[in-house]
Amino acid sequence: MASGFLTLISFFTRIPVGKKIEYREENFIKALNLYTLTGAVIGFLLCVIYIVFNKIYIPFIRGLILTLAYILITGGIHMDGAADTSDGIFSGRTGDKIFEIMSDSHIGAFGVITLILVILSQFVLFSYSYLSTVFMMPVVGRACTIMACWNKKYAKNTRGMGTAFIENIDSKVLFANLLILFMFSILTPNRLVIFTASFSTIALSYFISTLIEEKIGGMTGDTCGFVTEVSQIIFMILVLFLAR
């Protein structure tokens, strides 16, 4: 399980794990129960940065630093998926043409717009977020991705990077990840707000994935990235709204 979790860290982040990890699909699949914990690792690092720069009394500087840190820690892997998904889904095409657009290495207009909106949203929201929100943001994002893939099939006919992930999200994996989310949400100082925002976002992420499924017949690695990024923004907005 430990090697599987390190595989998740090395696969979904740019955090050095101290040794070269050999990818084994069986270890990857077994570790999916802990996928939400990768968000906790990211959240912890963001909190360290938040604390270091908290003495800077200009919120936008802190927001900029946290946004850049998030991109560097994750390698922008989920943002890339969000951009590709937007290019495909909003292209007006159907069927395999959507997948061709999503697989194109060149980013389109909708992809650019999505990236700008995601980065700007994170920048503004990080600027006005509490420490607990900064920690929980990537935790919620990963739990939402698990929720989005539950009872979904891999949409493409050919195997891709997301196949092993999407095809192995069963009820046990979902429960394990939601339990991790629940535990973290009730341990935060403003637990009622965080809990409400977290599980409201979980519900919305499943709705978003259902819309994606209607469009392309399932989920892909790119659409997982889309759900991750959109869910994180929704969560931070809900926290700010509920904490008023």
Strand, coil or helix: what is 130? coil
Quote the percentage of the chain above a pLDDT of 70: 98
Helices (H) then strands (E): counts for the chain:
12, 0
Q: How far does Cα 10 stand from its chain's mean position?
A: 15
Q: Is residue 82 part of a domain?
A: yes
Q: Given this model, what pLDDT does residue 26 score? A: 83
Q: Is residue 213 part of a domain?
A: yes
Q: Is residue 113 part of a domain?
A: yes
Q: Is residue 16 part of a domain?
A: no
Quote the percentage of the chain above a pLDDT of 90: 77
Helix axes 131-149, 35-52, angle to 10 degrees: 160
Mean pLDDT value of segment 178-204: 97
Q: For 23, which DSSP code?
A: P
Q: Is residue 114 part of a domain?
A: yes
Q: Is residue 20 part of a domain?
A: no
What confidence tier does 96 reach under pLDDT thresholds 50, 70, 90?
Answer: confident
Q: Is residue 19 part of a domain?
A: no
pTM beyond 0.85: the answer is yes
pLDDT tens for 155-170 read 988 886 789 999 999 9
Mean pLDDT, the chain, rounded, equals 93
Domain count, the chain: 1
User: What is the residue range of 109's domain?
Assistant: 2-9+26-242
- Between the alpha carbon of residue 162 and those of residues 36, 75, 81, 145, 191, the distances in Å are 16, 17, 11, 12, 33
Q: Is residue 164 part of a domain?
A: yes
